Structure 1
């Protein structure tokens, strides 16, 4: 998405909702939860002006009650997505090449 739009994105790892069981399993298996196949999740790119209304609307429904802001679109380095790690260290997120795990459903 970032490359197609010619923008960069910054994601805050602390803000990405990953359950403790998933995080623990990923740590044991040596996997990055950002690259593990999952279902029932989506990313919406919303203007900062519309963000409060969007979150309010999503929070009304049980299925999206946990919706949160995880990052921002920024200028520069078109197509680059940077993750601010839990330790505060930025790292560039690369596109996954191949599959980390086979899909089971």
Structure 2
């Protein structure tokens, strides 16, 4: 999942995982594999004020499994399970 360099750097400094902090302005859709290219083209062509739609991308796939889990692939080529958050989520700061 793409994470902006600024966000990743700040999270590293503060010892936070960007997947567990309040996050606004994100859109996640489950799309059939045969419709993926069309869906991405539509999102990328959307005329949005901030331009984030241009970076729309596929971040994973749903597969049949005996044990439901979210497994992440790291930039280093390793994998890890995305566990449920233990404890309290950081509050939104508005």
TM-score, shorter chain, exceeding 0.5: yes
| TM-score (norm: length of structure 2) | 0.86
**TM-score, normalised relative to structure 1:** 0.78
Out of 8, 20, 25, which is 2:10 matched to? Answer: 25
State which of 16, 23, 31 in structure 2 corresponds to 1:38.
23
Higher relative contact order (CA 8 A, sep 6+): 1
Unpaired runs of 5+ in structure 1? 1-15
1:70 paired with 2:55, answer no
Counterpart-to-counterpart distance in 2, 1:63 and 1:80: 28
Whole-Å Cα distance in 1 between the matches of residues 20 and 66 of structure 2? 22
Aligned-CA RMSD value: 1.4
Alignment: residue pair count: 90
Indicate the structure with greater helix content: 2
Moved over 3 A (4+): none
Three-state SS of the structure 2 residue aligned to 1:83 is strand
Structure ranking higher in strand proportion: 1
Q: Could you tell me which of 78, 81, 89 is aligned with 1:89?
A: 78
> Which runs of 5 or more residues in structure 2 are unaligned?
none
- The secondary structure found in structure 2 opposite 1:103 is coil
